[in-house]
Structure 1
Amino acid sequence: MNRRKIPVIDSDTLAIRRASRIVGTRVAFACAAVVAVVIVAVFVYILSEISPGELFEPVPDTENLQVSAMKLLRAAAVLGVALIVLAGVLSWLVTRRAVQPLGDVLHIQRAFIADASHELRTPLAVLDARLQLLQRTLPVGDPSSSVVAELRSDAKDLINIVNDLLESAEVGGAAVHDTAVVNLVAAVDAAVQSMALIAVDKHISIELDAPQLASVRVPDSSITRCVVALLDNAVRFAPRGSIIAVGVAVTKKTVAVTVRDRGPGIHGIDPARIFDRFAHSVPPDADGHESRTGFGIGLSLVREIAVRYGGAVHVVDSTAAGTAICLTVPRAKLA
């Protein structure tokens, strides 16, 4: 089987590089603007002091050095370009050094999340086991059975959150490994079938439009995990009785999975920020912080996985008619 190694780049590193480029570019443009203003001022001053006929005439000085105004202007232009290039290089170097502490903080944060998640998994598993034992020992018809069942459900929710935290922390620091070619459509269909059982409670149907085959070098479990997170977000905001559309599109180089709901859209937050950990938005009819809607870490985990395998995830559009989120991964080249 044809295999190749996938380079590991976590989303934190990608964000730091992007911030470095943005800040460096802005500083370089600011420096270039200052240099350009100075050069223009020199041009204007020289041209104001001589007549057009004297522009190309050499001007003798007391030391027998002859120089024309045109040569002086040309020298000033070359000097200005050199200063602009130098400003750009220095801005890039200084910016990279300046944002490095931010990268260290993000890595420390990731390590803390991983350590805390590891510490929480065991007591939560013990708690769930004890609740399960209590549930089994209760006689049929016991009035406390419903309360114990709710407690078990809450414990499972906590376990899922901790597992998501741990997976989010470990994805970025995972080692490079070989990845086999898988059919993305099968993994997406598995996610749709799983979430359809949850969506039916809100009378929401999930429709899949996909080709028969879409080969990628991403583990099928990771694909399913990503699509489940996207569908979970869509089901949470979609109105009752609506349809969630899942489409798979294959191009020459990429495979894209788009999940579109009929919800109210994203409000109170930049759509690109919904992939940040624990991002919150404000519904259009809310006027206080109590009504904030959390995205949790599911979408953050989608971005982590996508970036790890050379892909990306972004909001295609978000209006009052609904929101569409697209997950893109490289298409596998078959031998």
Structure 2
Amino acid sequence: MQIRTKIAIQFTIIIAFILMIFSLAVYYTSENFRKKEFYNRLHDRGILTAQLLKELKVTEKDKKKLRDANKTILSKLNVEKVLMFNDKDELVYASYEAESFLYSPAFLKQVRQNKYVETSDWDNQLTGSVYTDENNKSYVVIAEATDIYGKEKLQNIRNTLITSFIIGITLTIILGIIFAGQSLKPITEINKEITNITAYNLKQKLTVGDNKDEIAQLANNFNQMLERLETSFELQKSFVSNASHELRTPLAAIKSEIQIALENERTNSEYKSTLKSLLTDTQRLIQLTNGLLQLAKSENRENSMAMKPTRIDELLFKAQEEVQSLNNDYKVTVDFDEIPDDDEWVTVNGNETLLLTVFTNLIDNACKYSPEHQADVKIRFNQKQCIVAVKDNGIGIPESELSKIFEPFYRTQNASTYRGHGIGLSVCRRIVDMHQGKIEAQSEEGKGSMFEVTLPHL
């Protein structure tokens, strides 16, 4: 079922419910008003009959005159009968002639007790009143009639309400379909535009319209999603292209060395030299492959990444030991600006393996790019954050390139003579982002650099 049809049906049901409640309220109010008004008129006519009877001598001739008067006076009420009983439940007057009169003594007793009673059957309404004359004699006056005109008016109201209800529902259905179609027309246009968007034309955007309603907001969000997808695809293409380029260099070197070695017979020492060169290139290839794997893992931002309380100082000492064990001439110092009173101030909720990768990369870079192969690491903290600064006195970073160093495979011009592939800093930034932290660089060419990692502590 189309959304337009669903909206029209739901809107029709709501309107139908409102109209039904309104119609029932009008009908119920009209019926109550009709009954009350008719009861009052019956009561008034019954009392009037009693008063007229009091002024006449109670003879058969007078009663006949009164019956004739009742027929004239009460004709508008369509009165069927008016009965009057004394305190002995004896009939003293009837507005019509009959051989017998049916009445309930229990009803007469109820009227005397309550002074006034209203009741009805399927067709007639009946009132019972107590009337007391000047001699302090009490009578029960019963007036019964059918409200033909009132019921006709009520029937007219009922027919009008039913007709109005049917017309209202019909108009609601028609207008609901029209207006729902008009309201959903932008979505229809969006669907048409979406069908034309593929992985090869992500630059195509949806029409936003007036940019004010929810549909415009949906189009905006979809356009932003397309931009993120486009960025992701571009990153993927760049990753594949750069990775292929970086892998091709050591593979080409290995191939060339093997070809040269196979061209002529070599001595044992020459073969050993070739194997050592191959081993160096292989190690470079392994480092590059590990870097690419780290970069790929850092792109995975799934919530399933294991997080636990991790002490930053212990991680830094592990990174120090790891870097120095791989490079005997590297010197790394780790120190606090001030000793923390609470261990939680140097404890973060993070993934130990990934954070160790961050600090290992930063420390290794600091040692690699400084003549003394030395890195100074400082730990400080505040009320909310733990801050690690890695400083060196190396070649520094040109100011014009400082904003690009965290891009994958980017290397500054003055670092081209050093081993590396431009992967480490990109990995560091993404891991720090995953931990809701930030990494910043300060550098001056020829004087060294300082990288500062800020992470929220427990």
Larger Rg: 2
Change (3 A) 1:222 1:268: same
- Does the 8 A contact of 2:396 with 2:446 survive in 1? yes
Which of 286, 291, 295 aligns to 1:159? It is 286
Deviation at 1:189, TM superposition (A): 0.8
Q: How does 1:286-297 map to 2 (within 5 A)?
A: 296-297=422-423
Equivalence for 2:376: 245
Q: Percent identity?
A: 21
8 Å CA contact 1:246, 1:259 repeated in 2: yes
Query: Aligned pair in 2 of structure 1 residues 251, 319: CA closer, same or farther (>3 Å)?
Result: farther
CA distance in 2, matches of 1:258, 1:295: 23
Q: Is the 8 A contact 2:380 2:388 kept in 1?
A: yes
Aligned AA (2:428): V
Is the CA contact (8 Å cut-off) linking 1:114 and 1:169 kept in structure 2? no
With 94-103 and 243-252 compared, the bigger mean Cα shift is at 94-103
1:161 CA drift (Å):
1.5
Counterparts of 1:263 and 1:249 in 2: how far apart (Å)? 23
After superposing the two structures, state which structure 1 stretch, 154-163 or 216-225, moved more: 154-163
Q: Which residue of 2 aligns with 1:278?
A: 409
Deviations for 1:36-55, whole angstroms, at most 9, x for unmatched residues? xxxxxxxxxxxxxxxxxxxx
Deviation string for 1:82-105 (max 9, x for gaps)?
xxxx99xxxx99997766554223
Where 1:192 maps in the other structure, the secondary structure is: helix
Shift of the alpha carbon at 1:111?
Answer: 4.6
Aligned to 1:104: 229
Q: 1:185 aligns with which of 305, 310, 313?
A: 313
Answer yes or no: is the 8 Å Cα contact 1:315–1:325 preserved in 2.
Answer: yes
Amino acid at match of 2:347: S
CA–CA separation in structure 1 for the residues paired with 2:361 and 2:319: 9
Say if 1:182 and 1:219, in contact at 8 Å, map to a contact too.
Answer: yes
Deviation at 1:110, TM superposition (A): 4.7
Q: By how many angstroms is 1:262 displaced?
A: 0.2
Q: For the residues of structure 1 that align with 2:384 and 2:400, how far apart are their CA atoms?
A: 32
For structure 1, the residue ranges without an aligned partner over 5 or more in a row are 1-85, 132-140
Cα distance change on mapping 1:105 and 1:154 into 2, 3 Å: farther
Cα deviation for residue 190 of structure 1 reads 1.0
Number of equivalenced pairs: 219
Q: Offset at 1:319?
A: 5.0
C-alpha distance in structure 2 between counterparts of 1:275 and 1:216, whole Å: 23
Q: Is the 8 A contact 1:268 1:282 kept in 2?
A: no
Pairing 1:143-158 to 2, within 5 Å after superposition? 143-158=270-285
Match of 1:42 in 2: none
Q: CA deviation at 1:270?
A: 3.2
| Structure 1 residues 198 and 269: CA distance shift in structure 2, 3 A | farther
CA contact under 8 A between 1:317 and 1:324: conserved in structure 2? yes
Unaligned 5+ residue runs, structure 2?
1-210, 259-267
8 Å CA contact 2:399, 2:444 repeated in 1: no
Tell me, in whole angstroms, the C-alpha distance in 2 between the residues paired with 1:116 and 1:324. 27
The equivalent of 2:42 in structure 1 is none
Q: 1:229 and 1:195, CA in 2 relative to 1: closer, same or farther beyond 3 A?
A: same
Matching residue's letter, 1:105: E
Aligned-partner SS, 2:433: helix
Taking CA–CA contacts closer than 8 Å with sequence separation of 6 or more, which of the two structures ends up with the larger relative contact order? 1
